[in-house]
Amino acid sequence: MQQRDPNYGRQQEPQELRTPVRMSIEDERTWSMIAHLSVLLNLITGLGGPVAALIIWLVYKDRSQRVAFHALQSLWYQIAWIVILAVGWSVTFVLMFVLIGFLLIPVMVLLSLVPFIHQCYAAYKAYQGVDYRYPIIADMIHSERRIP
């Protein structure tokens, strides 16, 4: 004799109504730190950092508001610095034709280190459990998403 499924005929709860599995605090801290450290991929792959931060945001946006916030901050911060550095190095290159650009090279080298140092510090703070906020970027994300 065959046994019947006890749930046979019952209406199943839709996937959207199921509560997502809550992440542990340690996992939230770890993934928040990884989102900030994704900037280090830029040293190896060029634009791998923003892509990694975007992937972390896409994977964790429904599971953890904290991880989503840190990943989104990291993504926009890296994009902002890519634009700033592209403009800065372009201006430096153009000004080299009139020799002033050579004076800007040390400034641009130091400026290029800022996002790496700043995001490593943010990763350290995020792993400590502090919701580190980048200037301007965090406020932009909060006003857009209406996060308290």
- One-character DSSP codes across 87-127: HHHHHHHHHGGGTSHHHHHHHHHHHHHHHHHHHHHHHHHHH
Contacts of 42 (CB under 8 A, 6+ apart): 48, 49, 78, 116
Structure letter (DSSP) for residue 46: S
How far apart (Å, rounded) are the C-alpha atoms in residues 21 and 23? 6
What is the residue type of 124? Y
User: What pTM did the predictor assign?
Assistant: 0.78
Question: Which one has a higher pLDDT value, 54 or 148?
Answer: 54
Percentage with pLDDT > 90 across the chain: 57
Q: Could you report the per-residue pLDDT of 7-21, keeping only the tens digit for each?
A: 555 555 455 444 556
Q: What is the arithmetic mean of pLDDT over 116-137?
A: 91
Instruction: Dig out the tokens for 87 from the structure.
Output: 């403009």
Boundaries of every domain in the chain? 23-142
Percentage with pLDDT > 70 across the chain: 82
How far apart (Å, rounded) are the C-alpha atoms in residues 144 and 111? 29
